[in-house]
Structure 1
Amino acid sequence: MISIIISSYRPNYFEQLQSNIQDTIGEIKYEIIKIHNPGLISLNSAYNCGARKSKFEYLLFLHEDILFLSNNWGKEIIRVLTDKSIGVVGVAGNEKKFWLPTGCETGIPKYRHVYVTHSPKKGIQNSHVKDPIKVRTLDGVFMAVRKSVWYEIKFDEKLGGFHFYDLDFSIRVGQHYQNLVLPAIRLQHFSLGNFGEDWIRRNLKFHKGNYDFDKPTTEEKIRIRIFWYTRLLKEKISSITKLRYIGKMGMGKFTWKYALRFLMK
């Protein structure tokens, strides 16, 4: 019923996940399609390759450095995707995608719906929520879709690399279908993400694309800029790339200090 496609380059993570899937997916038919990919091809290319090899009606594109914390999640995917109006479903997403150069996370909590933890001891926010939530974008850690929808839209291999494949795919699918986050499925993710030099370069390129971005209010601009200038302090980024990012993100009287701190760090 479900073809699980994983771009893999770390055997220990893959083997751990393979066992975890067997223990948690529930009593349904599935296959795991491993695309060995130590940086040889983009995620877009790897996922399209895996989808072409798949034999089942439902496709799940999955990072290898995760573990499922929920049981019988396979049936939840199938139950939701049986509705032909639904596009991509995931476990982390956002109701908005503004033209500002962010990732899936905007930095505005009310639009954010994430059912992933980096530490089971901390739990998952809004753990009481069970019903699917309408979103615009989905994080690529987990993306499930009917094979017919993938065949119609596919991942854009012109993007290249390992970033923004998820935003591009979920935005384009969302032009024709409704994307959802599924709170009933919970994950542990071992990576905090990489938002360094390559991420910013691909970010700026992505935001030149012809997407129907949302328009932020003045207050939303302030909150987004503060969040991302602060978040990117942790990364190693060249000064010229920082300047290019500031040029796109912008600043105002309430955020110029955050932009300057980001530039000077």
Structure 2
Amino acid sequence: MLMSIICVYNDEEVLEKYLLESLKTQNEEYELILIDNRNHEFNSAASALNYGGKKAKGEILLFVHQDVEFYENNLKDIKYYFENCQNLGIAGVQGVSEENYGRITTNIVSGIPKSTVSDYSITDITETQTLDELLLIIPKEVFGKYQFDEETCYDWHLYGADYCLNIKQKGYSVVLFPITLYHVSEGGSMSLEYFKTLKKVLNKYKYDYNRIYTNCLLSHEPNNQLKLDILYYSEILHIRNPITNFLSNFNFLKKILK
């Protein structure tokens, strides 16, 4: 069963040092599709990954970040779990859901120096609501029907979370594989575009989910977006800790939110 590894990169040195070097330790057959975005040909992750996914020939599509380092036998383990997962829509290695009380669940390590991401690890395939985009595993058959939403996720954020929510609505499973690998970035990359995209995602599914979980801000109520509005305008104003400092910022924020 052929795997297609699809990576959009903007830093060739990082790509070579981590992803490509680590792939040399793998024994499974794979196809490598690299999408060079150093000249900003693609404006969003969704459009770039859709481009790569449509070129892929493998039965298993792995959409992976440039700064992921696979450990020995990772591809073998992914293939094993893939073959033993029923009704799979999408899988990953880090996720969050109501079932795990809104906590990030993962076996991976990240950062420099390396450290565990979460105290909540797994030993078997585990259901989740959404996944972190560092590694997304999608059956080619499913991807042929459903691609990443380029309109909702028009930037570089939340395309994985959106895909998970959509694929659940289609009746497929969203799961975590108990894989340990290294992700150099510690995640949590925030910007104004992140908040704008998050609002679009929440509005898209506000009639389908009472609560939506994401790996950065964790828990959201699609029909009550006050917290999101506060965080968004706090980012504009560079106000730190907007929720804990809510009372001191309240009057000013209230005027903006009207």
Normalised-by-shorter TM-score class: 0.7 to 0.9
Name the SS for the 2:137 alignment partner.
Answer: strand
Name the counterpart of 1:104. Answer: none
* Residue number among 170, 174, 188 corresponding to 2:168 in the alignment: 174
For normalisation by structure 2, the TM-score amounts to 0.76
Name the counterpart of 1:30. Answer: 30
The letter of the residue matching 1:166 is G
Residues 1-265 of structure 1 mapped to structure 2, 5 A cutoff: 1-16=2-17, 17-23=19-25, 26-38=26-38, 39-41=40-42, 42-68=44-70, 70-82=71-83, 83-96=85-98, 111-116=103-108, 117-119=110-112, 121-126=114-119, 129-159=122-152, 160-175=154-169, 176-210=171-205, 212-215=208-211, 237-239=235-237, 256-257=246-247, 260=250
In structure 2, distance between residues paired with 1:80 and 1:161:
31
Q: CA RMSD in A?
A: 3.7
Q: Deviations over 1:115-151 (max 9, x none)?
A: 3322454335348632122101111111001100111
Name the counterpart of 2:215. Answer: none
Q: Deviations over 1:206-257 (max 9, x none)?
A: 22213522349xxx889xx9x9899x69x98213x98xxx9xxxx8xx9843
Where do 5+ consecutive residues of structure 1 fail to align?
98-107
In structure 2, distance between residues paired with 1:15 and 1:43:
20
Q: Is the 8 A contact 2:9 2:37 kept in 1?
A: yes
Name the counterpart of 1:102. Answer: none
Where do 5+ consecutive residues of structure 2 fail to align?
213-218
> In the superposition, relative to structure 1, how do residues 158 and 79 fare at CA in structure 2: closer, same or farther (>3 Å)?
same
The letter of the residue matching 1:136 is Q
Q: Deviations over 1:70-122 (max 9, x none)?
A: 3211122222222341221111111149xxxxxxxxxx865421333224543
For normalisation by structure 1, the TM-score amounts to 0.74
Q: Is the 8 A contact 2:14 2:67 kept in 1?
A: yes
Size of the alignment, in residue pairs? 234
In structure 2, distance between residues paired with 1:203 and 1:81:
29
Q: Is the 8 A contact 2:8 2:34 kept in 1?
A: yes
